[in-house]
Structure 1
Amino acid sequence: MKRIGVLTSGGDSPGMNAAIRSVVRKAIYSNIEVYGIYYGYAGMIEGNIKKLEIGSVGDIIHRGGTMLYTARTEEFKTEAGRAKGIEQLNKHGIEGVVVIGGDGSFQGAKKLTEAGYPCIGVPGTIDNDIPGTDFTIGFDTALNTIIDAIDKIRDTATSHERTYVIEVMGRHAGDLALWAGLADGAETILIPEAPYDMEEIITRLQNGHKRGKKHSIIVVAEGCESGVAFGKKIEEATKFETRVSVLGYIQRGGSPTAGDRVLASRLGAKAVDLLLEGKKGRMVGIQQNKLVDHDILEALSQKHTVDMDMYTLSKELSI
């Protein structure tokens, strides 16, 4: 293999640039040319492909977002759309592709592999919802962004003696809510993976108020319930002054943490190694701090789970 491509697809996540940098420099170190495919699969269809050099990825390891940009496209889900993308790969002599993104991006990588283009998936999503890896690129940074926001909200919650409901990202996975809630001592955490008992939540808030607690923090994953709607329920049931903060896209931005930079660097280089070994249709990941690889569809067929022991612990510590 003498020429590979690299793209980012789906939602951006902090650390994607570090992964791009790792893919490019590991490949060049291994005497392989690298081409950046801009705007994900949409750019592949349009032929928005440019050669990357060592200097192309200089000064990006600390930057959030993705220098290759990202976009979503329905066209690539069709056979005709993929044929256009493959035509562009052939035109540029690209023999393999590293795809950095989430589950939708990995589905596209599998389709390309089936069409004869070896692909390796690198998990990049703040939701941490990809089976086969303990952590995804961007999760640690987003988590710390949330914790920083909650710390600031707690200051005003204390000053005004209010209950605050904080909605965080996580449409299908509660990792961000769970980790942030536990780290910030939230009284209640709502995640998609576990049902909640409204009466229990109200009782906990009222008991805290009775013993002199002046404020409460509730963290809600967006996939569980709307923070605004839940805040109204809390205020109506307790009569406590309640405010809601929806953190939104602030969670995706910012300079990646050291953890995400190192993880992205390790996974990006591993992806290149797999292509050199002749592997295809695989995803890289990290489990128990060891680099691993799995068949993409086999990994995605598994159900993502959260650590329910952590969820139980959060309840035990929020008495």
Structure 2
Amino acid sequence: MTVGVNKMKKIGVLTSGGDSPGMNAAIRAVVRKSIYHGIEAYGVYQGYSGLMAGNISKFELGSVGDIIHRGGTMLRSARCKEFETKEGQQKGIEQLRKMGLDGLVVIGGNGSYLGAKALTEQGFPCIGVPATIDNDIPGTQFTIGFDTALNTVLDAIDRIRDTATSHERTFIVEVMGRDAGDIALWSGLAGGAETILVPEEDYDLDDIAERLKSGQRRGKKHSIIIVAEGVSSGPKFAEEIFAKTNIETRVSVLGHIQRGGNPTGFDRVLASRLGAYAVELLMEGKGGRAVGVVKDKLVNDDILTVLEQPHNFQSDMYKLSKELSI
């Protein structure tokens, strides 16, 4: 969708879906980039639910001060089934028109993108900014929050390995990743895990069991197994391992600590670049686009095209992790 170039007077920003570290940095970038170019900036609270309710406030420069280093989202987030309907979307558009907004930046994941696409199709230009710890948005190599979550998990793995070594045990670490295994793969490779289970690749329980037993025979005293939640739960997989090997394991389910914490420098920079780029596209009269970064270059694509693409799982890295864990 293309609208009149340089006709943006008011731009809104909202966060939707699961929170991720760096969302605040992206909000800050959208607000300050807009104000820098003489455009009024507005924050929409509580995602699409807040949009329908008209929970929208004008932001000044100071409104986004002291947030670049904070995790979560100052705009808060909420999932909203009603916004999936035409009626719900019309409610949102009515609120946007009531406030006189000309464009909207939506920061979130796949579900958030669907909302942005629907608004654009009904005549209101939106730009999607990828923010999810799962790193599962096509059209970009990295999503906002992934690097922070990766380092949070890696820190936990390092600590668990200390205990695994001390007590000569096998530990199973369950990480987030219902449909995408990037957190498991990257943290497992960086943390030296002996086994990594991801939704994108089948696994052979007999092979895993034999490698554990083989390691014990050669004197290996401990192992780390990373399991993405989309494959199995940590406790369930522990039962399967015990049934095959008679080896007792300890399970750590990291849960929502993976979403929290101060964003890394990488995520702060990524969020700042993508948030500002989204404003630039709106200023150019473009809507229905999704921004990203590929080979350190800012890119944008039709949001529908992005949603139709499969997640780009790096099978070569998965193969490498198996080769290095012998």
TM-score when normalising by structure 1: 0.99
Partner of 1:215: 222
CA distance in 1, matches of 2:248, 2:166: 13
CA distance in 2, matches of 1:231, 1:52: 50
Is the 8 Å Cα contact of residues 48 and 83 (structure 2) preserved in structure 1?
yes
| Superposed displacement of residue 164, structure 1 | 0.6
Equivalent of residue 268 in structure 1, options 262, 275, 291: 275
For the aligned residue pairs, the C-alpha RMSD in angstroms reads: 0.6
Partner of 2:3: none
Equivalent of residue 56 in structure 1, options 39, 60, 63: 63
Partner of 1:122: 129
| Superposed displacement of residue 305, structure 1 | 2.4
Partner of 1:88: 95
| Superposed displacement of residue 237, structure 1 | 1.5
Partner of 2:4: none
In the TM superposition, structure 1's runs of 4+ consecutive aligned residues that sit over 6 Å from their partners are none
> Aligned partner of 2:12: which letter?
G
SS for the counterpart of 1:316 is: helix
Deviations 1:278-310 (A, max 9, x none): 011000000011000000110110100211010
CA distance in 2, matches of 1:230, 1:8: 35
Deviations 1:199-218 (A, max 9, x none): 11011111111111111000
CA distance in 2, matches of 1:162, 1:282: 49
Equivalent of residue 101 in structure 1, options 103, 108, 111: 108
Partner of 2:148: 141
Is the 8 Å Cα contact of residues 8 and 39 (structure 1) preserved in structure 2?
yes
Equivalent of residue 304 in structure 1, options 311, 317, 320: 311
Deviations 1:121-144 (A, max 9, x none): 000000000000000000000000
Is the 8 Å Cα contact of residues 193 and 305 (structure 1) preserved in structure 2?
no
CA distance in 2, matches of 1:65, 1:53: 20
| Superposed displacement of residue 238, structure 1 | 1.5
| Superposed displacement of residue 235, structure 1 | 1.8
- 1:235-250 counterparts in 2 under 5 A? 235-250=242-257
| Paired-residue identity, % | 70
Partner of 1:35: 42
Equivalent of residue 194 in structure 1, options 194, 198, 201: 201
| Superposed displacement of residue 225, structure 1 | 1.2
> Aligned partner of 2:195: which letter?
T
Deviations 1:167-203 (A, max 9, x none): 0000100000000000011010000000001111011
Is the 8 Å Cα contact of residues 206 and 244 (structure 2) preserved in structure 1?
no
Aligned length: 319
Partner of 2:53: 46
SS for the counterpart of 1:71 is: coil
> Aligned partner of 1:267: which letter?
L
SS for the counterpart of 1:116 is: coil
Equivalent of residue 72 in structure 2, options 65, 68, 85: 65
| Structure 1 position 256 matched with structure 2 position 263 | yes
SS for the counterpart of 1:65 is: coil
CA distance in 2, matches of 1:114, 1:307: 33
| Superposed displacement of residue 241, structure 1 | 2.0
Partner of 1:283: 290
Partner of 2:81: 74
> Aligned partner of 1:76: which letter?
F
Is the 8 Å Cα contact of residues 38 and 70 (structure 1) preserved in structure 2?
yes
CA distance in 1, matches of 2:138, 2:273: 18
> Aligned partner of 2:76: which letter?
Y
Partner of 1:17: 24
SS for the counterpart of 1:186 is: coil
TM-score when normalising by structure 2: 0.97
Partner of 2:183: 176
Is the 8 Å Cα contact of residues 14 and 43 (structure 2) preserved in structure 1?
yes
